[in-house]
Structure 1
């Protein structure tokens, strides 16, 4: 496998065409020895159709849902620590879902990337920027809620919008640093099956790499580092912190009899948050490790698991950007009241304008009748 990697200028394989080769999941640059041409076309097409449906759904719901969140938390609600968290979370998800049409087009065109190398790099970077930013904003929300429950007095004295804004900026900076390597290693190149089809993929070769056997090992090492880093910093550590925080919250709620009667709803929300986070991201990161192992042991069963599992896991990860507004914002009563009142006010103004026009029209007709009684109803109309 290592020898075949040095013969190819792009180091990507047919797996990039068979699996869901999108901006969020594509590290298949070392599988040149695998033969995927015998895979059933029906399965491949079904996976592509499923991806198109999910991506389109995620785009519509994500843009609308997160757009409403940004509108309400940014312009309609009083600035608080919670609105700062929710606003930043919605901005990350909105930015990601706004770029989804590129992935939809890519998949619909049988994984032909017509947007150029820069957009290939930018699209992937935005995807992982969303992943890291969303995950760590959720970590911040979890820690903030935990501190508010365990040390309520200290929290009340030290929590403010300015500090929350600074923390949010730090989260964005960290997410940008962690997603920057994907801008460096993302590349475009012709498909092995059809030179007229341009793929967008991860190319772990650098221009200053010399042509020798150790180059392939160096590229594989870069692949391992990025995969393991993504698994640890993008899932294991954040998920552990979130679970720990909510475990402490539930423990304190159950010990406090005053809050015990009101704890059923928060506990349900907390359970939904943890389960949804796990279901959306665990398959994605676990398959990332399986894919990395497949490069080493070259096992046929693992390749089939990757081929079928990657589109499903990626779709679940994409849907997380739609579910965040529901789980973290729309379940809040205050937010729902703001949305309802704002929408009702808009509708009320719209109807009031029509009523005013009707009254003005009626008044003018009465005046006309009083001045010129000879005008007929037909002429007025």
Structure 2
């Protein structure tokens, strides 16, 4: 996921760091590692998320949970389906042979996955909060149609946040090499102070906006929701028992997303320091040159982890070995009965009362 603002900046960074043979070898190792990680994420992501889409979309009865997990799988599947372009780009030593349009689409899909995933997780967190704190209201108003509408809103919002990537992505050729990069100034002039200032300003604005809207704000909402949920579950053992499995699955997905994406966002903030004339150093260049590939790999891995989490958290390990993948996924996606536990308890008490009357007769 290229966050560099211009080819001139990339070249300057590479020149400052390539003076060390050690760094050159390390850079080569990171290049190979990135190719391996991208390949694994592509294969397992396409297969795993495709399986989830097939099960949740075509093999199961629709409920609110399947709508949420289906949208997560679609976002990850779309991202991993575009990964062969990035793999080819790296394998050709950063030569982009697919044209400007595909350069724009590839960059847009990268961030569409980020925003669609994180805001779907926000929707899931709010849905869990409503189901646990206001179960009667949720039983009346919580349904597949409204969840589908909410998912469409999430995708529309995610697409709007991803459009700047489509606008700024560009290609530029140097002899036989064509590079796909972010042209924030819409210019190939790297000496004009006004153009340089505009490029740096837009780069900072895009980075800060992405960190705020793609990480800090949504995770603050999720953290607030789950703080309230945990407090409520502690005060209700019956509710905690009934909501245990879906809560574990969703909480683990959110934690995994955080662990995979937090280092990437932190590194993009660190990368902004290179525009500060007082912060230029070989150490900073080395940190960015090593940190960005590693954190990008970690972010990419997230797209193939969710199907694994659905299986290995939804049931005990021994049960999963004995069951087919379809049965395991069905058990994970089953709607829990949080909204109706009060009604079920009341029905059971009525049945016991009727039974006692019959005995008295």
- Is TM > 0.5 for Structure 1 vs Structure 2? yes
Superposed counterparts of 1:186-205, under 5 Å: 186-190=169-173, 195-205=175-185
Partner of 1:256: 236
Residue 13 of structure 2 is aligned to residue 36 of structure 1:
no
Say whether residues 1:279 and 2:259 are aligned partners.
yes
Matched residue SS, 1:99: helix
* Contact 1:69-1:329 at 8 Å conserved across structures: no
Q: CA RMSD in A?
A: 2.5
Whether 2:7 is the aligned partner of 1:27: answer no
Q: Confirm or deny: 8 A CA contact 1:246 1:270 kept in the other structure.
A: no
* CA drift at 1:265: 4.9
Asked if structure 2 preserves the Cα contact closer than 8 Å seen for 1:125 and 1:179, the reply is yes
Q: Is the 8 A contact 2:260 2:301 kept in 1?
A: yes
Deviation for aligned residue 1:208: 12
Judge which range, 265-274 or 317-326, deviates more. 265-274
Q: Where does residue 170 of structure 1 map in the other structure?
A: 153
Question: As a proportion of its length, which structure holds more helix?
Answer: 2
Q: Is the 8 A contact 2:311 2:328 kept in 1?
A: no
> Structure 2-normalised TM-score?
0.81
SS of the equivalent of 1:214 reads: helix
Aligned partners of 1:178, 1:229: CA distance in 2, in Å?
9
Q: Give the Cα separation in 1 of the matches to 2:132 and 2:324.
A: 25
CA offset digits 1:42-86 (Å, max 9, x no partner): 111100111111111101110011001100111111111111111
1:263–1:77 Cα change, 3 Å: closer
TM-superposed CA distance for 1:327, in Å, is 3.0
User: Would you say the 8 A contact 1:86–1:329 is kept in 2?
Assistant: no
The offset of 1:260, in angstroms, is: 4.2
User: Could you tell me which residue of structure 2 aligns to residue 95 of structure 1?
Assistant: 78
After superposition, the C-alpha distances for 1:1-58 in whole angstroms (9 at most, x for unaligned) are: xxxxxxxxxxxxxxxxxxxxxxx23224263654233243211110011111111110
The 1:140–1:260 alpha-carbon spacing in structure 2 relative to 1, beyond 3 Å, is closer
- 1:282-310 Cα deviation digits (max 9, x unpaired): 00000000001222232332211111111
The farther-off stretch of 58-67 and 249-258 is: 249-258
The 2-side partners of 1:218 and 1:94 are apart by: 35
Structure 2 partner of 1:206 = 186
Which residue matches 2:216?
236
> Which ranges in structure 2 are unaligned for 5 or more consecutive residues?
330-361
Aligned residue-pair number: 315
Q: Deviations over 1:227-250 (max 9, x none)?
A: 000000011111111122122111
* Closer/same/farther in 2, CA of residues 145 and 329 from structure 1, 3 Å limit: farther
Q: Are 1:320 and 2:302 matched, yes or no?
A: yes
User: Who is 1:69 aligned against?
Assistant: 52
Aligned to 1:308: 290
Deviation, 1:135, is 0.8
- Deviation of 1:319 after TM superposition, in Å, equals 0.8
Distance 1:51 1:329 in 2: 27
User: Are the equivalent residues in 1 in contact too, given 2:5–2:199 (CA < 8 A)?
Assistant: no
Residues 137-168 of structure 1: CA deviation (Å, up to 9, x unaligned): 11111111111111111111111111111111
**Distance in 2 (alpha carbons) for counterparts of 1:306 and 1:148:** 43
3-state SS, counterpart of residue 157 of structure 1: helix
What CA distance in whole angstroms lies between the structure 2 residues aligned with 1:47 and 1:120? Answer: 22
Q: Report the CA distance between 1:332 and its aligned residue.
A: 3.6
- Determine helix, strand or coil for the equivalent of 2:170: strand
Q: Which has the larger radius of gyration?
A: 1
Give the TM-score of the pair, scaled to structure 1. Answer: 0.77
Report the CA distance shift for 1:183/1:340 in structure 2 as closer, same or farther (over 3 A): closer
